[in-house]
Amino acid sequence: MNKNKLAKGIYWVGAVDWDVRDFHGYSTYRGSTYNSFLVIDEKVTLFDTVKHSHMDQLLYNIGKIIDPKEIDYIVVNHVELDHSGSLPKMMEIVQPEKLICSPMGEKALIAHFHREDWPYHIVKSGDEISLGARTVQFLETRMLHWPDSMFSYLQEDGILFTSDAFGQHLASTERFDDELELDEIMQESAKYYANILNLFSPLIRKLLRTIKEMDLDLKIIAPDHGLIWRSHQDKILAAYEKWSNQEHSNRALIIYDSMWHSTEEMAKSISIGLEEEGVPAELINMQVHHRSDVVTKVLDARALILGSPTLNNGILPRMAGLLSYMKGLKPARKLGAAFGSYGWSGEAVAQLNTIMDEMKIERINDGLRLKYVPTEESLDQCREYGRELGRSILASEEGK
């Protein structure tokens, strides 16, 4: 039995990257896969390639099934180099009749590889191509997450190749969602969404509506990273519905950095006040958490309570890095507040407020500042501040 077989004549032939640990600032502690799919029909077709460093794996996996030179068509669903890096060499080896891509895909391929002589075959949403016994239907998914992105749907098999949607950065010898714990896959899917797709949530809502309207006989969702969905398609579609609608739990994240523990002590006291009002709170110290793990938690939180002492008339570098990263991902429907200790100038809280305003986070108040080391009295003030925030968070939920 071929463990890489999706259906009769359809195979995963991609590559597993056990060592990758960073993906544009996103921590990939568990590695990743670069999924590529081979369809054996009258026209043998390869859907996407892999990162250039893993081309040997791709050729080996194809070679176990057919001679790579027998491939007739190559479909490029997404031009980003983790999926197209090995394409130039594959074009030399395979010399396909057609290189199938979206209109924006052609432009991106030429811009990346400077080859106008390749046999481009341009497809748009709704276009179909016969492979023989099978028909491929195409759906452009511009800006999910590049302008060139598209889906390919094998109608007879009910398989949707979704490029960078519905995936996870997760290295594994297993190929399918029913071969690992579902909670584990969903956690990695949430991290993937939060760090790559969250800013495109309005487009994802539109895409999900389009998929429903197409009324596909959807048996398998095959992304370009991670596990293939053959048993829990409903779970990942429902999760994307929730995440794209920016739904959240009624909980707060207290995200902070501290120099000499004063801001840290404030954070702990604020958390007590929140909990006393019935609002679950999680303390996130930026000295021990990676930004990509933090924004994953942000996906499900109602309120972001941000803390930093003042350093050189500004906020600490780790907080600045997190907020720069988070700003690009555009979290929506969040409440926010700031706090921090200072020695003599104390600009950090005002700067945190400005950043929240720029991110369109609804600020509960103007923040709390304490000078130097907190006293018992000032820590009581922090607990009361937490209670105030808790009441505001609960009131916002009641008013929805």
Contact 63, 40 (CB under 8 A): no
- Known catalytic residue at 289: no
Q: What are phi and psi of 276, to 5 degrees?
A: -65, -25
Q: Which helix (H) or strand (E) holds 329?
A: helix 317-329
Q: How confident is the model at residue 242 (pLDDT cuts 50, 70, 90)?
A: very high
- Known catalytic residue at 128: no
Q: What is the pLDDT of residue 370?
A: 84
- Known catalytic residue at 26: no
Q: CB neighbours (10 Å) of residue 50?
A: 30
Give me the domains of the chain, ranges plus CATH numbers. 5-244 (3.60.15.10), 252-393 (3.40.50.360)
Q: What is the pLDDT of residues 150-183, one digit of tens each?
A: 999 999 999 999 999 999 999 999 999 999 999 9
Average pLDDT of the residues in 337-366: 91
The pairing of beta strand 73-75 with beta strand 98-101: parallel
Which of the residues 78, 83, 169, 232 is marked catalytic?
Answer: 78
Q: What is the pLDDT of residues 292-325, one digit of tens each?
A: 999 999 999 999 999 999 888 888 999 999 999 9
- Known catalytic residue at 78: yes
Which of the residues 140, 148, 157, 164 is marked catalytic?
Answer: 164
Which of the residues 48, 82, 106, 140 is marked catalytic?
Answer: 82
E-strand ranges in 85-190 read: 98-101, 120-122, 128-130, 135-140, 150-154, 159-161
Is residue 398 over pLDDT 70?
Answer: no
- Known catalytic residue at 277: no
Q: What is the DSSP letter of 177?
A: G
Is residue 221 over pLDDT 90?
Answer: yes
What are the residues facing 363 on neighbouring strands? Answer: 336
Is residue 33 over pLDDT 90?
Answer: yes
Q: If you average pLDDT over every residue of the chain, what do you get?
A: 93
- Known catalytic residue at 52: no
**How far, in Å, CA of 85 to CA of 46, rounded?**
15
- Known catalytic residue at 248: no
Which residue, 230, 400, 257, is CA-closest to 339? 257
Q: What is the pLDDT of residue 400?
A: 56
Which of the residues 83, 225, 232, 248 is marked catalytic?
Answer: 225
The residues, any chain, with a CB within 8 Å of residue 183's CB and separated by 6 or more, are none
Lowest mean per-residue pLDDT among 41-50, 83-92, 244-253: 244-253
Which of the residues 24, 114, 181, 183 is marked catalytic?
Answer: 24
Which of the residues 29, 52, 72, 80 is marked catalytic?
Answer: 80
**How far, in Å, CA of 148 to CA of 380, rounded?**
55
Region of residue 10 (phi > 0: left; psi between -120 and 50: alpha; otherwise: beta): beta
Which residue, 131, 137, 309, 124, is CA-closest to 211? 137
Contact 33, 15 (CB under 8 A): yes
Q: What is the pLDDT of residue 369?
A: 87
Q: Averaging pLDDT over each range in 93-107, 297-311, 334-348, 361-375, which range is the top one?
A: 93-107
The residues, any chain, with a CB within 8 Å of residue 398's CB and separated by 6 or more, are none
Q: Which helix (H) or strand (E) holds 218?
A: none
Which of the residues 54, 83, 145, 169 is marked catalytic?
Answer: 145
- Known catalytic residue at 80: yes
